Each structure stands twice: as structure tokens, then as C-alpha cells.
Structure 1
Amino acid sequence: MNPEIVNYIGYAASVFIVLSFILKDLTKIRIVNLIGCICFVVYGIFNGMLWPVIIPNGIICLVQVYHLLTAKKK
């Protein structure tokens, strides 16, 4: 993938993560944070398999999905 596009994905990930700290609604926080984490996983994969970026963000993705799914059932 084009390195410039990969950098933009990384910047977008950062914006989504910061935005998730600004929001107040927990569901919106989780969704925006999930988008940011997915962007960071994609960034880590296409930037040379950056495992210190991929692993924690992948785990956070799973945590966010779990909480979003269990919150809908309540």
C-alpha cells in the first residue's frame, strides 16, 4: 500500500482515539475508539507488521466489541 495512505490511516486513528476522550456517551465513546483501534491495526499491518501497535489495539478492539454487544443485550 502507498506509504502516504498508510500515514493518513495512522493520523485518522489518532484523531479517532483523541475524539473518543472528548465524547460523553459511553456507546459513542466505544464506537469511536473501536474505529480508531481498527485504523491502528491496519496502520500497523501495512507499516511493516508493527506488533507493538497491532497487539494492544487488536485486544482493545475485542474489548470494545464485547462491551458493545453485551450492552445491547441489557
Structure 2
Amino acid sequence: MTPEFANYIGYAASLFIVLSFALRNLRKIRIVNLIGCACFVVYGIYSGMLWPVIIPNGLLCFVQVYHLITGKNGK
């Protein structure tokens, strides 16, 4: 993957994270945030193993998946 394409993934990740703050439905928030966090993990890997980006976003992916699977969406 080229560094330029990795940057595009980083921009997409930022867009998804910001978009998740604009939503009202908690399930949609979790899904959009999950996509953003997953994009940040990919960005961190392909930008030279940026562990401060990979670790928290990877953990947040698991948190979002857990809540989506268990249905604990804070309703």
C-alpha cells in the first residue's frame, strides 16, 4: 500500500469518527465509529506501525463489536 493511499484511509477514518458524533441513534453511532476505528487501525499499520494509533482504536473496535452483539446500546 502506498503512503498516499494510507493517508486517504486516515482521512476516511477521521471522517467516520466525526460523523459518529453527529448521529443520534446509538446503534448507528457504534457502527460508524467501528468503521472509523478499523480504518485507523489499518492506517496505523500501513503508516509504520503507529502503536499509539493502533492500540486504542483496536480496543475500541472490540468495545463497539461487544455492544453491537450483546445489544447493550444504552437504550
TM-score, normalised to structure 2, is: 0.94
Report the counterpart of residue 65 of structure 2 in structure 1: 65
Counterpart-to-counterpart distance in 2, 1:31 and 1:41: 15
Report the counterpart of residue 17 of structure 2 in structure 1: 17
- 3-state secondary structure, aligned to 1:49: coil
Counterpart-to-counterpart distance in 1, 2:47 and 2:4: 10
Counterpart-to-counterpart distance in 2, 1:3 and 1:58: 21
1:28 is displaced (CA, Å) by: 0.2
Counterpart-to-counterpart distance in 1, 2:52 and 2:2: 21
Counterpart-to-counterpart distance in 2, 1:3 and 1:49: 13
Report the counterpart of residue 30 of structure 2 in structure 1: 30
Instruction: Count residues in correspondence.
Output: 72
Question: 2:68 matched to 1:50?
Answer: no
TM-score, normalised to structure 1, is: 0.95
- 3-state secondary structure, aligned to 2:6: helix
- 3-state secondary structure, aligned to 1:48: coil
| Same amino acid, percent of matched pairs | 78
Q: Structure 1 segments of 4 or more deviating over 3 A?
A: none
Q: Which structure 2 segments of 5+ residues have no match?
A: none
Counterpart-to-counterpart distance in 2, 1:4 and 1:32: 23
Q: Which structure 1 segments of 5+ residues have no match?
A: none
